[in-house]
Amino acid sequence: MKFKILAAALAAGALCAPAHAQTEIQWWHSMGGALGEALNGVADKFNASQKDYKIVATYKGQYPESLTAAIAAFRAGNAPHLLQVFEVGTATMMAAKGAIVPVATVMANAKEPFDPKAYLPTVTGYYSDLKGNMLSFPFNSSTVMFYINKDAFKKAGLDPNKAPKTWKEVVAAAEKLKASGSACPYTTSWPSWMHIENFSAWHNVPIGTKQNGMGGFDTVFTINSPLHVRHIAMLGDMSKKGLFVYAGRTNQGDAKFSSGECAMFSGSAGAQAGIKKAATFDWSINFIPYHDDVKGAPQNSIIGGASIWVMGGKKPEEYKGVAKFMAYLSRPEVQMDWHTLTGYVPITKASYDLTRKSGFYDKNPGADMPVKELTLHEPTANSKGLRFGNFVQGRTVIEEELESVFAGKKDAKAALDEAVKRGNEILRQFEAANK
Amino acid sequence: MEKRVVFRSAWLPYALVAPQIAITLVFFFWPAAQAVWYSFQMQDAFGLKTQFVGLANYAALFKDGNYLASFKVTAQFSVLVAFSGIAISLLFATMADRVLRGAMAYKTLLIWPYAVAPAIAGVLWAFLFAPSIGIVTYVIKGWGINWNWILDGDQAMLLIVVASVWKQISYNFLFFLAGLQSIPKPLIEAAAIDGAGPMRRFWTIVFPLLSPTTFFLLVVNIVYAFFETFGVIDATTQGGPGQSTNILVYKVYHDGIKAGDLGGSSTQSVILMIIVIALTVVQFRYVEKKVQY
């Protein structure tokens, strides 16, 4: 008797099953904590918006870890459909021609409407080839900003509503801050991203030949120019005088600012959320400083963050779902949600306009500064972005050399010459491996 | 007369060691052979394009001045870790051996750190010594020392040595304690009756009798410093500032796992393997001669 009931239940279950099952799309990402919740919200809403596809988002650790996991999975033949890769991994992914499918191709094959021009040029430029084909989908983009602690400025007798605009003003303010007892007038997160990569774009000077590597793998670094040397020497000098306190290679500077220890700070636009939560003082977010005697400065800053890559070797039906999901992600209201929730910049002009109309920027002054900084001028070959092979290693080399300047062990010229020499060796190796 | 157990069966001894051999083959020889094979290749991160490049990876490595500098850092680090680790645990073991009351409690507490994973040990020490928020930093700054291992290479080295030694003390301690307890008491008592003080008894009787243990620990600690300290470094300095704590094994990890350069990373592992084999051979040939069993 029991068996009969069970059999009947099973049969009923089989009858009720949908005519065709949902197609699952695996998405590996690196958004932890509050950002992870926001990402899951995006996936859930997409899943609820239609019935054919299901995005399964999985947190795979920090950026380098999820990239490693995906590479291992690819070698074993079970890579995810979508993979979030940080910006420095762009060249590695791009070179892996058999492992990825360009987003532009995915969209064209699925006949999803897709207009690359709808996106902010500084964002798409970073992830497109020279012909303008989008290779990966810009998901979370930020840029580097300059923050000041207004209370510390007041205490030092500085005008808290006038954040330093040039590096000369930064040094002058730092001296006053130090005299007022500040143990850390200025610090930075992401030293290479801020003081080499964005510094170059902001002053419209190249980081490397061949349009910062976008024009081919046979690029060489040019970060030992007189302007670069002068800037790094200035930082080394500030470090010696106690005007600049080095915090480390990643985002360790964020905590030094939000705890009130450091009065001025350059870090990701994404640091705002943490500062809002932790800071017990008045602060403001501003454009990064520039050297005012450099012609063409300030130009525009470049992005950081990550994009979504579509992996190769999947079924056509699955790629259709991927295309649908990317089209969904580009919708202005979806973008606005993501932007206002996380602090990452909106990646389409339409979503930027929509957010402005919603009054979000009036309620959150400064929240539109990152977009303004990214789009200050039409990007040039020097400020579109960069694409260097094995740049994870390249950045480490740059940071090691910067540290030797900040510690007073090397002078700026010697350190940057060495960074170029070692960096170029890495580039040559990448070129040879990807011939 | 020599006592010996002899297997009469032809296959039984082999069958008994077979599982051990199988494990060694699968988990040591196979990956090691693979590393050697990869070291002659150049590969992109996804393994889509593989070229046989002969010794090019080795040539590139030895042309790189920073790789050679990494040897120096590794040598410094392992000598510091092995010697201070052994010296401190020997001191603790002799102390714990003399304690009459609550000996169990001391011993248990001393063995505890061994149960902590290297990465967690690294994080613990990184917190204690963190440049802005660390408790120990607060005290050190009170003494007027500018403590910032994020920028000061010597301080960074000190930090990882302290963290690595702390982890290894328990292990050394256990062996020394066992060694001490196996020294016949009448020997020491006889020396005491002859008028030898505690120091003299230690250096002329205890220390020589402990030499097999010390030798064993020397080998183990060098290998520990070369390989297992990786977790501590990854959780604290990540090889920086500059390259001041970039020991060979950490560079292998960074280049291979984080940067996706399998060929270069494998080449470094092969070299590392050769160094450790050479070191162990040297230790057994020369140092062991001075050991009294």
If we measure between CA atoms, which residue out of A184, A154, A186 comes closest to residue A171? A186
| Closest residue in chain B to residue A98, using alpha carbons only | B48
Task: Judge whether A256 lies within some domain.
Answer: yes
Q: How far apart are CA B285 and CA B281, in angstroms?
A: 6
pLDDT number for residue B21: 94
pLDDT number for residue B3: 61
Task: Judge whether A8 lies within some domain.
Answer: no
Tell which of A374, A399, A423 closes a domain: A374
If we measure between CA atoms, which residue out of A130, A213, A190 comes closest to residue A396? A190
pLDDT number for residue A14: 47
Q: Please list every residue in chain A whose beta carbon sits closer than 8 Å to the beta carbon of residue B260.
A: 67-68, 71, 92, 390, 392
More confidently predicted of A1 and A54: A54
pLDDT number for residue B293: 61
Q: Same domain, yes or no, for A177 and A253?
A: yes
More confidently predicted of A136 and A64: A136
Size of interface A-B (CB pairs under 8 A): 99
Measured over the CA atoms of residue B54, residue B56, residue B59 and residue B64, the dihedral's sign is: negative
Q: pLDDT category, A49, cuts 50, 70, 90?
A: very high
Task: Judge whether A4 lies within some domain.
Answer: no
CB A203 within 8 A of CB A383: no
Q: Same domain, yes or no, for A355 and A366?
A: yes
> Residue B261 and residue A429: Cβ atoms within 8 Å?
yes
Q: Same domain, yes or no, for A228 and A239?
A: yes
Tokens linked to A128: 């497109």
Tell which of A356, A374, A392 closes a domain: A374
pLDDT tens digit string along A298-329? 999 999 989 999 999 899 999 999 999 999 99
Is residue A246 less than 8 Å (CB to CB) from chain B? yes
Domain spanning B58-290: CATH superfamily: MetI-like (1.10.3720.10)
pLDDT number for residue B95: 86
- Residue A311, domain CATH: 3.40.190.10
Q: Where are the extended beta strands (E) located within A270-379?
A: 283-286, 303-311
If we measure between CA atoms, which residue out of A304, A307, A351, A349 comes closest to residue A326? A307
Task: Judge whether A27 lies within some domain.
Answer: yes
> Residue B242 and residue A68: Cβ atoms within 8 Å?
no
Is residue A337 less than 8 Å (CB to CB) from chain B? no
> Which of A429, A430, A431, A435 should be substituted to probe chain B, the one whose Cβ sees the most B Cβ atoms within 10 Å?
A429
> Residue A96 and residue B48: Cβ atoms within 8 Å?
yes
If we measure between CA atoms, which residue out of A223, A277, A227 comes closest to residue A254? A277
Tell which of A357, A374, A391 closes a domain: A374
Domain ranges within chain B, ordered by starting residue: 58-290
Mean pLDDT throughout A12-30?
Answer: 71
pLDDT at A294 over 90: yes
pLDDT tens digit string along A78-125? 899 999 999 888 988 988 888 999 999 999 999 988 888 888 888 888
Task: Judge whether A340 lies within some domain.
Answer: yes
Pairing assessment for the beta strands A23-29 and A82-86 based on DSSP bridges: parallel
Task: Judge whether A108 lies within some domain.
Answer: yes
Q: Same domain, yes or no, for A173 and A99?
A: no
> Residue A99 and residue B46: Cβ atoms within 8 Å?
yes
State the DSSP H helix or E strand holding residue A262, giving kind and residue range, or none if neither: strand A262-268
pLDDT number for residue A372: 93
DSSP B213-248: HHHHHHHHHHHIIIIITHHHHHHTTTT-STTTT--H
Q: pLDDT category, A403, cuts 50, 70, 90?
A: very high
Mean pLDDT throughout A17-22?
Answer: 60
**Which residues, 6 or more positions from A355, have their beta carbon under 8 angstroms from its beta carbon?**
A336, A339, A340, A346, A361, A368
Is residue A95 less than 8 Å (CB to CB) from chain B? yes
More confidently predicted of A258 and B276: A258
pLDDT tens digit string along B249-282? 999 988 888 777 888 899 999 999 998 888 888 8
Q: Same domain, yes or no, for A166 and A98?
A: no
Residues (pLDDT < 50) of chain B are 1
Q: Please list every residue in chain B whose beta carbon sits closer than 8 Å to the beta carbon of residue A239.
A: 151
> Residue A75 and residue B150: Cβ atoms within 8 Å?
no
The verdict on whether omega for the bond into residue B186 sits within 30 degrees of 0, i.e. cis, is: no
Q: Please list every residue in chain B whose beta carbon sits closer than 8 Å to the beta carbon of residue A252.
A: 150
Q: Residue A327's Cα: distance from chain center in Å?
A: 21
Q: Same domain, yes or no, for A126 and A183?
A: no
pLDDT number for residue A75: 87
Is residue A260 less than 8 Å (CB to CB) from chain B? no
Q: pLDDT category, A13, cuts 50, 70, 90?
A: very low
Is residue A71 less than 8 Å (CB to CB) from chain B? yes
Q: How far apart are CA B76 and CA B280, in angstroms?
A: 17
Q: Please list every residue in chain A whose beta carbon sits closer than 8 Å to the beta carbon of residue B49.
A: 433-435
Number of domains chain A is built from? 2
Q: Same domain, yes or no, for A414 and A280?
A: yes
Name the residue type at position A426.
I
Q: Please list every residue in chain A whose beta carbon sits closer than 8 Å to the beta carbon of residue B46.
A: 71, 74-75, 96, 98-99
Shortest Cα distance, chain B CAs vs residue A390, angstroms: 6
Q: How far is CA A320 from CA A48, A70, B89, in A?
A: 17, 21, 64
Is residue A429 less than 8 Å (CB to CB) from chain B? yes
**Which residues, 6 or more positions from A196, have their beta carbon under 8 angstroms from its beta carbon?**
A207, A223, A228, A398, A402
Q: Which domain holds residue A112?
A: 23-141+303-374
Q: How far is CA A410 from CA A229, A327, B242, in A?
A: 12, 50, 11
Other C-beta atoms closer than 10 Å to the C-beta of A49 total: 13
Q: Please list every residue in chain B whose beta carbon sits closer than 8 Å to the beta carbon of residue A434.
A: 44, 49
Q: Residue B234's Cα: distance from chain center in Å?
A: 15
Q: Same domain, yes or no, for A226 and A81?
A: no
Task: Judge whether A105 lies within some domain.
Answer: yes
Q: How far apart are CA B4 and CA B25, in angstroms?
A: 29
pLDDT number for residue B250: 92
Q: Please list every residue in chain A whose beta carbon sits closer than 8 Å to the beta carbon of residue B38.
A: none
pLDDT tens digit string along A169-185? 999 999 999 999 999 99
Tokens linked to A5: 């009931």
Name the residue type at position B135.
I
A16-41 burial, b for 16+ CB within 10 Å, e for fewer? eeeeeeebebbbbbbbeeebeebbee
pLDDT at A7 over 70: no
